[in-house]
Structure 1
Amino acid sequence: MITGHIDHLAAAGLAQPLYDALVQALAQDPAHKQPDSYTLDGDRLFMNVMTLTTQPPHEKKAELHRAYIDIQLLLEGVETIHYGTSERARELLEWHQEDDYQLCHAIDNPQTLTLEPGMFAIFMPGEPHKPGCHETLRAPLKKVVIKLHREALFPVS
């Protein structure tokens, strides 16, 4: 997991494909877009603008992906993301290959990160994460999840 703030993007030390994905998504002004999926570069790069209400973490399942890197950028609200390192997902549910996700009931040794507007968290394939959480409040959020295909960082030879 990598985290940073869009106001200090150059200081985040991101690999060029991650940096470029964020810059390309921000150029589309996601804060002013309606919730939907937006193609940026075919299947290689797209973004999902969404609104949701935070929930206590015990009411949510964690997710993980295999093909895509998740760049979660908070636009409005405050959220906590519970996450773990690769291979820490427990009680895995069915794999959904077409939509590139798998849910799980638990994360072994979970960590937490609180995002405020402008902050982002990047989850690599296999890293379980449970976004949209708040321990005590049910509050609205707006965020964009930028999906970058793993081959942007890990080319298949």
Structure 2
Amino acid sequence: MITANINDYKTALYLSEQMKDVISKALEITASNPADGRYNIDGDSAFVLISSPMTEAHEKRLAEIHHKYLDVQILLAGKEVIGYGTELAAAAAVQDLLADKDIAFYNAIPNEQFVSLNPGDYAVFYPHELHRPLCSAGQEQQIKKAVVKIKIDYLK
């Protein structure tokens, strides 16, 4: 997991040039304040999902993993807390949609930690990294976010 502010992504040594290019294209899309939906960057290899969900109490949110895609979750408006773990899932998934939708849901994250995001902050989750997005930062609220999905084998 990587977290930083989007203002610094171009100089981030830990992001490949290809990732920076995809993020740049995603930010061009978000600059026009688009409606919620999917916006292609490079077909199924790289795209951005814009959404305006409600955050919820940590206890109400399921954790998730992906196997084929990494997430660059960029908070555009509001406040969000994301749980994450540095260990692989120990228990079985409560819902496994990896084959069809590249997502599996879990109740728990071993030794869960939390990162708070403000507008302009982002978090990168690589395949197999458990994360619990959309947790409230105090009170539940509607946020706006962009989730950049990049197929892991697309990256060089």
TM-score by length of structure 1 reads: 0.91
Q: Percent identity among equivalent residues? A: 32
Partner secondary structure for residue 46 of structure 1: strand
- Report if the CA contact (8 A) 1:76-1:141 is conserved: yes
* Cα distance, 1:28–1:118 mapped onto 2, change above 3 Å: same
CA distance in 2, matches of 1:89, 1:30: 40
Structure 2 counterparts to residues 120-131 of structure 1, below 5 A = 120-131=122-133
Q: Give the corresponding residue for 1:117.
A: 119
Q: Give the corresponding residue for 1:6.
A: 6
TM-superposition CA deviations, 1:39-87 (whole Å, max 9, x none) = 1101100110000111111011011000000000000001000001251
- Report if the CA contact (8 A) 1:90-1:108 is conserved: no
Q: Give the corresponding residue for 1:151.
A: 153
State the Cα RMSD in Å. 1.5
Q: Which runs of 5+ in 1 are unaligned?
A: none
* Cα distance, 1:31–1:3 mapped onto 2, change above 3 Å: farther
Greater percentage in strand: 1
* Cα distance, 1:30–1:83 mapped onto 2, change above 3 Å: farther
TM-score by length of structure 2 reads: 0.92
Q: Would you say how many aligned residue pairs link Structure 1 and Structure 2?
A: 154
Shift of 1:10: 2.3
Partner secondary structure for residue 87 of structure 1: coil
CA distance in 1, matches of 2:143, 2:16: 28
* Cα distance, 1:86–1:21 mapped onto 2, change above 3 Å: farther
Q: Which runs of 5+ in 2 are unaligned?
A: none
TM-superposition CA deviations, 1:116-138 (whole Å, max 9, x none) = 00111000000011111125301
